Amino acid sequence: QKEVEQDPGPLSVPEGAIVSLNCTYSNSAFQYFMWYRQYSRKGPELLMYTYSSGNKEDGRFTAQVDKSSKYISLFIRDSQPSDSATYLCAMKGRTQGGSEKLVFGKGTKLTVNP
Amino acid sequence: DTEVTQTPKHLVMGMTNKKSLKCEQHMGHRAMYWYKQKAKKPPELMFVYSYEKLSINESVPSRFSPECPNSSLLNLHLHALQPEDSALYLCASSLRSGGPTGELFFGEGSRLTVL
């Protein structure tokens, strides 16, 4: 079983829609959870960083972590064409190999149509 | 704008060339990273430096040689690369390498093509 699972999509929505992006994970040692946005041919940009379970809101973005279900989500409200990008979940804690490093999901490619 | 600066943005090299990628950050971060990213794949960790010491080497071939001259600079020296090494090379930094301050900030990347 992979440590982090993320549906690669692609996901296509109309402008103004609410977008829900999700990841599941298997390693209960993960404690720190991040969402990155990556535009084509650019480096990943940190969007949200959360520690342990709960919600965090930043403008149109809300990150949720449910450690009991090993499930994290990113919600985008009032989506805009400029939100079109690949969204990568990432999490950190002791990996199955014993080291502490960031583990990425495969990324979900999102397109918001005007 | 990202506060992690990578140069060059694009690099084309032959298999016998020697070149270097450079990364700089001035956020006072003490952990720096090199990642490799192929098209439509997530970044793959190559090296981690913590307080200027190499702490993680993900079994990267010796044709990639990292160097951390000081806490703000990170280099990746390239020698005798193969065409399959063509990828986007990303530098990242974090306040510390572990614990709650571990969120990574990435640069724009150096796109490498090996002919």
Please count the other Cβ atoms lying within 10 Å of the Cβ belonging to residue A40. Answer: 9
CB-defined contacts A:B, below 8 A: 54
Cβ <8 Å between A43 and B98: no
Place of tokens 């949720």: A64
Matching residue, tokens 């990303």: B90
- Cα–Cα distance, A110 to A13 (Å, whole number): 8
Check A105 against B42: CB less than 8 A apart.
yes
Q: Are A27 and A112 in contact (CB under 8 A)?
A: no
Q: What is the pLDDT of residue B43?
A: 93
The alpha carbon of A52 is separated from its chain's Cα centroid by a whole number of angstroms, namely 14
Dump pLDDT digits (tens) for A62-84. Answer: 999 999 999 999 999 999 999 99
The residues, ordered by sequence, that sit 6+ positions from A97 with a Cβ below 8 Å of its Cβ are none
From chain A, the residues in CB contact with B111 under 8 A are: 41
Contact B111, B92 (CB under 8 A): no
What are the structure tokens assigned to B20, written together?
A: 């270097």
- The whole-number pLDDT of residue A2 equals 76
- Output the 3-class SS for A44-87: CEEEEEEECCEEEEECCEEEEEECCCCEEEEEECCCCHHHCEEE
Cβ within 8 Å, pair B45-A32? no
SS3 B49: strand
pLDDT band for A52, please (50, 70, 90 cuts). Answer: confident
Residue A88 CB contacts under 8 Å (≥ 6 apart), including other chains: A6, A35, A36, A37, A38, A44, A104, A105, A106, A107, B42, B43
Q: Reply yes or no on whether the pLDDT at B21 is more than 90.
A: yes
pLDDT of A29:
86
CA angle B104, B109, B114 (to 5 degrees): 135
**Higher pLDDT among residues B64 and B97, named by residue:** B64
Query: Chain A residue with minimal CA distance to B43?
Result: A104
pLDDT bucket at A9, cuts 50 / 70 / 90: confident
State mean pLDDT over B10-31: 94
